Amino acid sequence: MSAQEGQIPGGGAGGSPPSEEELRAAYEAELKRLKVGDVLLQTAVSLINLAGRRAGLAPDSQDERDIDQLRDAIDAVRALMPILERSAPTDLTPLRNALSSLQMAYAREREAAAAGGESSADAAGGEGADRGGAAEGAAGGDKPADAGGKAGEEPPGPGPAQSSGRLWVPGR
């Protein structure tokens, strides 16, 4: 890294503030240096860090817990993974491990919310199949949300898809 790299031309100690043209030139120089893979990796790491706080995993972050933001961050990182795999300049194992940990934390949060009797859409399983995408995608994925109950328990009754015969349900 050269002595001038990262400095704004004309804006030094004792000098006048940089002009708009100088700021624009510095910004253009930074854009020339950046690679999309680097920005995507930085974005994924930022999302992982933010998700850790929303899961309550970071020190002193219990009051920041938000299962919806956690789910969105997990889904965003999962969407970036195929692109990162082909364009990131580094090994993605630590990122994958962090994502897996967050998916497990999300699954625990949903389970705790459901066991705690919360009436939110997330605790009840949501209204759409995409509500639990991150955790179910990592944990087995293709089974419907209702089919993941405890062993020996049957759902209250067949839903519209089950009664129409369009959905295969184990044990029926």
DSSP labels, 3-70:
SSTTPPTT--TTSPPPPHHHHHHHHHHHHHH--HHHHHHHHHHHHHHHHHHHTT-STT-GGG--HHHH
Residues 126 and 91 in one domain: yes
Same domain? For 101 and 128 the reply is yes
Please check whether residues 48 and 86 belong to one and the same domain. yes
- For the chain, how many structural domains are there in total? 2
Regarding whether 135 and 54 lie in a shared domain, the answer is: yes
> Taking the model in full, what pTM does it have?
0.58
Q: Tell me, yes or no, whether 112 and 68 share the same domain.
A: yes
The answer on 107 and 128 residing in a single domain is yes
Residue bearing tokens 């790299």: 5
Same-domain pairing of 96 and 108: yes
Which pLDDT tens digits describe the chain residue by residue (172 residues)? 444 545 555 555 557 899 999 999 999 999 999 998 889 999 999 999 999 999 999 999 889 999 999 999 999 999 999 999 998 767 899 999 999 999 999 999 999 888 886 544 444 444 433 434 444 444 333 333 444 444 555 545 555 555 555 555 555 5
Residue 10 in any domain: the answer is no
Predicted local confidence at residue 91, as pLDDT:
87
Residue-range definition of the domain harbouring residue 71: 20-141
- Please return the burial class of 110, using the count of CB atoms within 10 Å of its CB with bins 0-12, 13-18 and 19+: buried
Residues 151, 90, single domain; the answer is no
Residue 128 lies in a domain: yes
The answer on 162 and 102 residing in a single domain is no
In a domain, 6, yes or no: no
**Are both 136 and 158 inside the same structural domain?**
no
137 and 167 part of one domain: no
In a domain, 132, yes or no: yes
